[in-house]
Chain A
Amino acid sequence: MNRLLPAIVNRLVIIIPYAWLLVFFLIPFVIVLRISLSEAAVAMPPYLPVFAWADGLSGFIDNVRQFSFDNYVWLTEDALYTNAYISSLTIALISTALTLLIAYPIAYGMARAPATLRPTLLMLVILPFWTSFLIRVYAWIAILKPEGLLNQLLLSTGIISQPLIILNTNTAIYIGIVYSYLPFMVLPLYSALEKMDHSLTEAAQDLGCTPISAFWRITFPLSLPGVVAGCLLVFIPAVGEFVIPDLLGGSETLMIGKTLWNEFNANRDWPVSSAVAAILLMILVVPIMFFQNAQSRLDREGR
């Protein structure tokens, strides 16, 4: 008994994350997949076929026979969806690159700051999370709109004579995404840079590197695990981002999150929106696996 208990506890500890994944990821995904193979219907729920316990096994098999890939075929035939996917990926990619560019110097500065100052700086990075995400995005509307704070400032200082049109453009989306996801990039970068031994860059300089080449040959390669983690944390949610393009972007901005929302709410076409979601997931799984692979390799090398 005494020995059994720890063994069970040990098992449980391993099982919990898997159970979590099963309940909150795999089961919902199977449901989405199953709806995506159905057919839209004016009913409740709005798709066919519907499984019922009363049908028994033969009814179940009949129902499964009705599944089809029509929705997926439909998605490939309409350029709207392909364009939405491509534009989502492009916007996410550019935003991720911009976030990395801005976050790296911040994280570097934090990691090199005096140890006593670092907790405060870390706090400042996390501080925006204390107010609602939605309110912060709305605040950007007030800043970016033609008669907003930014234009007022630029006009009053005489830098521009005509208000800049930023709101409802892709630029506004980039600003929104970079702003919202910056902490997710800064934190992994900071943790990678902070644990790095400063004597490594000294050694590089001792061997003839200028501070800049020491950065590129030592610091940056060693921070790659942080770069990869940060990029994943920004890229993946950015691809499916809905709120930021909806509030800051223009009507012509196509993003997959918005498309999905339209199918689901406006058209009430659950099967097609499920298919959109399923494809999105598959598109994301490829880079995720690639990055995970790269990361575990880097981690192994880093020790």
Chain B
Amino acid sequence: MKSLGSIRRSFSPWTDPSSKPFISFRNVTKRFGDFVAVDDLSLDIYTREFHALLGASGCGKSTLLRMLAGFEQPTSGEIILDGQNLAGIPPYRRPVNMMFQSYALFPHMTVEANIAFGLKQDGMPKPAIAERVTQMLKLVKMEQFAKRKPHQLSGGQRQRVALARSLAKQPKVLLLDEPLGALDKKLREETQFELMDLQQDLGLTFVVVTHDQEEAMTMADRIAVMAHGKVVQVATPAEIYEAPNSRFVADFIGDVNIFDGTVSRAQASEIRIEADAGFAIEAASSAHPGEGAKAGFAIRPEKIRVGRQMPTGNAVNAAEGELWDIAYLGDMTVYHVKLNSGKVVKASSLNAVRAVEDPLGYDQKVWISFDRDAGVVLKD
């Protein structure tokens, strides 16, 4: 069995103040005319990290990568790679290779020649080139296609060749711009794990651009969520999912319910919010706004319980409504509950047993409830 995400090494140099970042963007801004594509952005990436840049289309991911590769110059700020300021260093002298969004395979060359291209350019001796090419072909399982031209390959095969070509020079950093964008879902998932294995086996630093959050969550050690040329949050996939630092991140990653309301009590480690949806929320939270301020409470659907009875105990973190919609997805069921206040809440539960006796049905009165530490408090 392949090594999967769950059994990867424990790796967290960003928590260690003594470790030095390998790549540093320092207050980097990139303007195209009046348009600010990257806005005063600072970001550290560590050696051997699998780092994903995640964000909506047009938020500046490719631009950031292209500045690292040397195809665009920052308007201001600096980029440091391995202690060296990259300003003024042309692309062909950077120890960085890029896998292009469009693959950019050379159409007039065979698969072999494409992979050998960078090595030849470096003046590597012929036998060594042949050996490396064979090794790369084997790595991406394309041995039998060595003599083909790119137009004779399928999309997935081209992607493999592009990967092999960018890996052939064994760069310190590999930049991948939407590497799996052209693949169908199944091939995509397979390739994600292959990429992870590869990165770990070769001990490289990967910076991957994607706008697919699932892909970022699967592959990356850390994710930088970007919006409008800025990094909104940099954290591990779990932190991003469980503790989004803003409404934007909470909304962007996965499904979420956000209850807006007013803070009625703020203590050191607990906060009480009178939700606009007509019930009180008591949540564990250390950082929170003061009493009387507006706040939001974000909670994932799988952390909300749905039941027929009012939960015992106090009347907080629970609200009554009726079942509006039920979607049976096989592994889980998603409920849409319309609270008495009119707000629709999404809740999901795993179908752990095969047939539930007396399942919930449409238009029934139900109660939703959740635990104190099931969600996060959002300022603003």
Contact = CB atoms under 8 A, between A and B. Distances in A.
Instruction: Bin the interface of chain B by size.
Output: 20 to 34
A207 B71 contact: no
A119 B282 CA distance: 65
A207 B69 CA distance: 11
Given A208-B118, A209-B121, A303 B104 contact: no
B97 interface: yes
Contact of A301 (B91, B108, B121): B108
Interface stretch (A154-162, A182-190, A195-203): A195-203
A200 B97 CA distance: 14
Given A301-B149, A303-B151, A202 B104 contact: yes
B104 A301 contact: no
A205 B106 CA distance: 12
A222 interface: yes
Nearest to B165: A207
B104 A208 contact: no
Contact of B69 (A206, A208, A217, A302): A206
Main secondary structure of the interface of A (DSSP, over half): helix
B121 A200 contact: no
Nearest to A302: B107
Nearest to A198: B104
B176 to A, nearest CB: 12
A302 B150 CA distance: 10
B98 interface: yes
A203 B100 contact: yes
Contact of A213 (B121, B165, B166): B121
Nearest to B102: A199
Contact of A203 (B70, B90, B104): B104
B32 to A, nearest CB: 13
A210 B92 contact: yes
Contacts of A204: 106, 117
Interface in B80-111: 90-92, 96-98, 100-102, 104-108
Interface residues of A, number: 20
Interface string B139-150: 000000000010
Interface string A209-235: 110010001100110000000000000
Contacts of A301: 107-108, 149
B71 A203 contact: no
A209 B166 CA distance: 14
A251 B350 CA distance: 97
Given A205-B90, A208-B169, A199 B121 contact: no
Contacts of A222: 107-108
B34 interface: no
A207 B108 CA distance: 16
Contacts of A207: 92, 97, 117-118, 121, 165, 169
B357 interface: no
B107 A206 contact: no
B131 interface: no
Nearest to A213: B121
Contacts of A199: 100-102, 104
Nearest to B177: A199
Contacts of B166: 206
Contact of B91 (A205, A217, A302): A205
Nearest to A301: B108
B122 interface: yes
A270 B79 CA distance: 78
A205 B107 CA distance: 16
Interface of B: 69-71, 90-92, 96-98, 100-102, 104-108, 117-118, 121-122, 149, 151, 165-166, 169
Q: Sorted from nearest, which 9 A-B pairs have the closest CB atoms? A: A207-B118, A203-B104, A208-B121, A199-B104, A205-B91, A303-B151, A208-B92, A205-B92, A206-B98
